Structure 1
Amino acid sequence: MRMRTGLALIGVGLLGAVAITIGVDALRDLSPFAPADECTATVDDSTVVLDPEQAENAALITAIAVRRGLPARAATIALATAYQESKLANLEYGDADSLGLFQQRPSQGWGTEEQVLDPVFATNAFYDALAEVDDYRSMEVTVAAQTVQRSAFPDAYADHEADARVLASALTGNSPAAFTCRFDGDVEEAGDRLRESGLVRRADAVRREALAVFGDLSLGGFEPGGVAGGHMEGSTHYEGRAVDIFVRPINQANNVRGWAIAHYLVAQADRLGVQTVIFDAKIWQARRSDDGWRDYDPPARSGDRAILEHRDHVHVDVFD
């Protein structure tokens, strides 16, 4: 049995005739021809494809490295390890008493069964152990991973190093607009009642998760009284369905952090009901997710162009 990420605080002839009758494009919308939900990370000429569960876990593993101020190298090592140990799935089973993303063993001091099945706890436990490894930044990935894991197959981590490097580069934000997901954009209605935060339930969940994963963030949302920070008419902010995550001042370090946050939100979009993510003059939309990240050209109006293009904040809004 596989568990999705959960934060502790997820006949040939007949078909041919049908295709002629209704058209190939329409047929693609029908199972089994509908494209599967998937996420991709592309850096340079290398592309890694993940299913939604793998993407959620990979993004969480990387986001925790970002929050802890660890280098992308640490995320690469963690991702290669989780690839080898669990294929980036939070497994409830394993060899002997091994469990979770990293197949950590309660009997070996990694924590209780409940703890190692919590992706946040398990990931932090891995990074705690990695931080104790002298010179892990200069070690071969497989050597660093083996020093932490003490696996019976010490060379196996190397099989996943290339994919882990691509994912780490994208998900840490060092490669902008390099991670995207394709979803059908079909979500259940969640209601429009505002919480104390001034946000609907889905948007408030996004706000709370961003804080839980990335730490102290400057978050802007709906402001009671019908004023949403001067947003354009028709903005989802006025409905309490949008959150702005600020990464000021505008500089290279914050641009990288902003892309880490934006990519994380796309990775979790299916689970959280995210409709749109905008950052650094790029936009991702669930209902146009086949297009990946597109150039964002906001309607012309007076004001700071950098703000209009969302260069100082990540905008995320959710479905109704």
Structure 2
Amino acid sequence: MSQSDHPRPRRRRPLLKVAGAFVLLALIGYFAVQYNSTNGGGGAPHCTAGPRTGSGGVDMTPEQAANAATIAAVGVAKGLPDRAVTIALATAMQESALRNLDHGDRDSLGLFQQRPSQGWGTREQIMDPVYSAGIFYERLVAIKGYSRLPLTEAAQQVQLSGFPQAYAKHEPDATVLTAAFAGDGELTCGGPAPTAPGNPEKVRTELTRIFAKDKTHTAPAQPSRTQDAAGKVKEAEVTFVEKRDGGASAARGSKAMAGWAVANSRGMGIARVSYGRQGWVAGEAKGKWQQQAGQGAKAGAGDPRDAEPGAVRIFVAQ
């Protein structure tokens, strides 16, 4: 093709550029309004792990937050230190981006890309986040002095990855996530309130399975149900109460339970969660935790947080 045969670039007219800019600004404004206004500030489903005060944090989809919460809760339930949880989270962030993948290199699967052919378990077991996190921790704690090793070295001894240095880049974010689920950080999850009933028995069963060996909490045999003035059931409550002698371990477990409930709220129809003097309500306050009203204020049954000392209260939509 000769030079003259090439199509000549079309000049964009200034008016079209201006019109395009207005369209872009309109779209940005629309989504900003949706984010800040829908359902009392719920907006599109999203989660952020970060400090209780100040800026900065790790943004996640509800799926990623739910998987991160499970990994952290399994580590806490086993009584493992924050370092173990951080190593596990950084590993899953590298291997799957905190997604429960049903595929991978060769026969690799799940959050940690574990391989049935390498003795990690069956396909069904590996695709269960509770199981896959549990067996990761089992192999991690078998490494002598793992908590004193660099994160890349500890993760590599478990994973035998072809790219061991890749874990290092996730350590800062994994540390933030660990604090959100087991320390002095916080998980916020925005999005609309549930519109369909959830399954309180599933919530209770999953948390009981994760904390099966936990001796610091008690739970009612059956979820209790809350009724409105007309006698119609609108929520079912699942509660875990710290034992009096539970101490710091019980408080850490409660934090992990509460974070797990918020992270799984979208998938399990959880309408609100409370722990200590704080509560989280789906579709309110842009997904942030709210402080319970102090003494002398009208809290009581009208307080949407319904927080009680030493209790994790999870309210499932009905």
* Matched residue, 1:183: 191
The AA in structure 2 aligned to 1:212 is R
User: Quick check: 243-252 or 48-57, which moved more?
Assistant: 243-252
C-alpha change, 1:95 and 1:285, in structure 2 (3 Å) is same
Counterparts of 1:50 and 1:17, CA distance in 2: 26
* Matched residue, 2:44: 36
Shift of residue 110, structure 1, vs aligned partner: 1.4
Shift of residue 93, structure 1, vs aligned partner: 1.2
C-alpha change, 1:23 and 1:142, in structure 2 (3 Å) is closer
8 Å contact kept, 1:203–1:240: no
The AA in structure 1 aligned to 2:195 is V
Shift of residue 239, structure 1, vs aligned partner: 5.9
Matched, 1:285 2:278: no
Matched, 1:260 2:256: yes
* Matched residue, 2:97: 87
Matched, 1:202 2:199: yes
C-alpha change, 1:135 and 1:180, in structure 2 (3 Å) is same
Shift of residue 14, structure 1, vs aligned partner: 6.5
Give percent identity, aligned residues only: 35
The AA in structure 2 aligned to 1:207 is R
The AA in structure 2 aligned to 1:205 is K
TM-score between the two structures when normalised by the length of structure 1: 0.77
Name which one, 1 or 2, has greater alpha-carbon Rg: 2
The AA in structure 1 aligned to 2:174 is A
The AA in structure 1 aligned to 2:188 is T
Counterparts of 2:208 and 2:96, CA distance in 1: 27
* Matched residue, 2:269: 273
Q: From 152, 158, 180, give the equivalent of 2:168.
A: 158
* Matched residue, 1:128: 138
Highest relative contact order (Cα 8 Å, sep 6+), 1 or 2? 2
* Unmatched tracts of structure 2, length 5 or more: 1-18, 301-305
Shift of residue 114, structure 1, vs aligned partner: 2.3
Counterparts of 1:175 and 1:28, CA distance in 2: 26
Shift of residue 91, structure 1, vs aligned partner: 0.8
Counterparts of 1:221 and 1:109, CA distance in 2: 36
Matched, 1:214 2:211: yes
8 Å contact kept, 2:200–2:316: yes
8 Å contact kept, 1:48–1:163: yes
8 Å contact kept, 2:35–2:43: no
C-alpha change, 1:45 and 1:117, in structure 2 (3 Å) is same
* Matched residue, 2:11: none
Matched, 1:246 2:241: yes
C-alpha change, 1:28 and 1:101, in structure 2 (3 Å) is same
* Matched residue, 1:3: none
Counterparts of 1:40 and 1:258, CA distance in 2: 19
Counterparts of 2:28 and 2:232, CA distance in 1: 43
The AA in structure 2 aligned to 1:276 is R
C-alpha change, 1:97 and 1:309, in structure 2 (3 Å) is closer
Counterparts of 1:27 and 1:124, CA distance in 2: 36
Counterparts of 1:98 and 1:18, CA distance in 2: 40
CA shift digits 1:104-145 (9 cap, x unpaired):
112222122222222222111111111110100111111100
Q: Please list, as runs of the form range in 1=range in 2, the aligned pairs for 1:33-182 lying within 5 A after superposition.
A: 35-43=43-51, 46-172=56-182, 174-175=183-184, 178-182=186-190
* Unmatched tracts of structure 1, length 5 or more: 1-10, 191-200, 303-307
C-alpha change, 1:291 and 1:106, in structure 2 (3 Å) is closer
TM-score between the two structures when normalised by the length of structure 2: 0.77
C-alpha change, 1:204 and 1:79, in structure 2 (3 Å) is same
The AA in structure 1 aligned to 2:268 is L
